[in-house]
A and B are shown apart, each in its own frame.
Chain A
């Protein structure tokens, strides 16, 4: 089994970083074995990277369904749980328009809470473990993080440097 090493190449800009991604692919590093870390959102097409999958919209949809179910319970079941049903004016026990208000608010609450929760679940937040990172990312540098065979470390370092990397180091897990 080939020994591997994780490297971090720090680029000053988007162009050399996207060139590096392409070059890494040429050198045999698959997309699964690289990641780009940046201080601004850089979309996949800009880097020539495959579309990143996210379940956030599905989780949001799930939350909407849950919220709607809760609202249905409050609207349709609760009025019949009263030992002595309460008549409000000429309104039915389950009045149409007010029920729509409750349905809307609780569905939206479910959607938004689950969207928020979705980011946490998908990104494994909160995460206070030691992780590969360099603080320069906050200052606008773009880091290409990849795994390569240990024997080829020098070759990869030279290639990244030739493409404009300011620094290529072994990715050390550090306390953020």
Chain B
């Protein structure tokens, strides 16, 4: 967790110049951290719900160990060697839960605050700008997601599903994945008009969750479909995560990282610009 804070702290001065060029002036007050503080205060009272969020992926993990794993004795791992089904699915679930949490936070929660409680309108009458809001909300989503991911990794370790020290990188990678999905999700939210549009979020997230080689290897698909799947974001996250927890890491991993870095940057800028346009007109 300190890692994200450090990163955010370091990233600020370096990126300000760039942001200034992409974002009209006056949109950033440099106080995104206050929005995180607000979320902490809100969730201090709802800690039960907060902890509960970690429960779901654990249930999945447990159901794998108990049930699914008994039907599938082994699957081809990232390097082609057979591995246990649980070791195959667990890292995928970690990636998927990073995605789910981030998308939920950045879409439903943001939309609610934006449209109904007019929270951001109130914030914008202070020195904070839309950029603070975008960064603040995404940071909170990351902190929360990081907490869940850490818990999940601990359980994986306890179940003997982590076999490589590379797995230490799984947490920052989970945060990067969450960042990218949160940024894109938030950007998408600024285009939504009513709750009905959130069915589209569901329509995007569920197929990603189910078909991005979460539960079975890519080889199940016919060739052309393999190509399509290999373009989708969650597939990259899962590949990366599987490689890390199983210790199969190559230069290709950097490509996956770059994929998410681009998504994150584009998402943040679009989200901040759109928020600015919607809130400051």
Are these two chains actual partners, yes or no?
no
A residues near B (Cβ < 8 Å) are: none
